[in-house]
Amino acid sequence: MTVIKSLRTGLLLLFGLLCGFVRAQDPSAFYIANEGVLVSDGGMKIMFDPLFPNTYGQYLLPPEEMKQAMFAGEAPFDSVNAIFISHYHGDHFSPEEIYHLMEAQPDIQLFAPNQAIIAMRSAASDSGSAVFDRVNSVNLGFNDSPVTFRNNDLLVEAVRIPHSGWPNRMLDVENIAWRVTLNDNATILHLGDSDPNDDHFAIDAEYWDERAPNMAFPPYWFQATPTGRNILVNRIKARSNVGIHVPNTISADPILRPQELRGRDLFITPGETRLIPTN
């Protein structure tokens, strides 16, 4: 009887999914801190810049309880498939903590710029550790063409965008904008600390036209400046944007923010979430 019942429920669910009145869980984004974000779609989970040691006096650190849940593989950080690192700066990446997380969670793949991987090898107790079999490094120079990886149900695309401050400072930083498509369903763009100058995007105009993200995570200075907003609207064309890297002086209450950030969607409080719009 129970078998028949669960068979009937299963068939109803399948029928519902086929007809579109039952939706598989919508993709969503969960804010960790600074530029740290967890994205889930169906059974798939990825994280961007989840562990880092420095606030530089103005950014939030990942809360201690979130870090413990990551290392223990507890919700919402259970079954994470991949981690993406934007660049090797102390408010984005801890070589030691990411190495230890990879040791603790043996199914996680890491995607990171070569500069970060070199730092992780020197931080590792065993630089030949099997952890490095799960590391995918990109080695992109200034103005190099984007690269693509296929990893089961993840389509991973990477392009180097100069770090903010270009052309005066931090020219040597390999800052990677990761464009990741989960389950051929939701495309997510994480811009790291990209510089909001259209020259960096114009050279890969076709690349940006090829796949509009369902959700983009630009550092808040893209939303705060006309040049940045122009890139979001005319190059990246994401369905939705949530600003990250927001200093702790910016209020969660839009009225208390500087005018240019009042109408913008920003990640401010660790643990807050957004649904990612899909078709």
Give me the residues that bind Zn ion (CB under 5 A), please.
91, 193
Token pair of 66 as six digits: 């979130």
- In whole angstroms, how close is the CB of 112 to Zn ion at the nearest point? 15
Nearer to Zn ion, 91 or 204 (CB): 91
- In whole angstroms, how close is the CB of 116 to Zn ion at the nearest point? 13
Place of tokens 């991987």: 117
Torsional class of 156: left (φ above 0), alpha (ψ -120 to 50), beta (otherwise) = beta
Nearer to Zn ion, 181 or 223 (CB): 223
- In whole angstroms, how close is the CB of 95 to Zn ion at the nearest point? 16
Alpha helices in the chain (DSSP H): 2-19, 64-72, 95-104, 114-123, 199-202, 205-210, 220-224, 226-231
- What percentage of the chain's residues is helix, strand, coil (to nearest 5)? 30, 25, 45
Nearer to Zn ion, 88 or 99 (CB): 88
Nearer to Zn ion, 165 or 271 (CB): 165
Nearer to Zn ion, 45 or 92 (CB): 92
- In whole angstroms, how close is the CB of 175 to Zn ion at the nearest point? 9
How many whole angstroms separate alpha carbon 264 and alpha carbon 216?
13
Nearer to Zn ion, 45 or 89 (CB): 89
Distance set, CA 110 to CA 141, 151, 206 (Å): 20, 11, 27
- Check if the beta carbon of residue 270 is closer than 8 Å to that of residue 63: yes
- In whole angstroms, how close is the CB of 179 to Zn ion at the nearest point? 19
CA 188 to chain centre: 7
Q: How wide is the angle at C-alpha 147 spanned by C-alphas 190 and 185, nearest 5°? A: 55
Nearer to Zn ion, 88 or 201 (CB): 88
Per DSSP, the residues of 43-76 read: TEEEEES------TTTSPPPPHHHHHHHHHT-TT
- In whole angstroms, how close is the CB of 244 to Zn ion at the nearest point? 10
- In whole angstroms, how close is the CB of 245 to Zn ion at the nearest point? 6
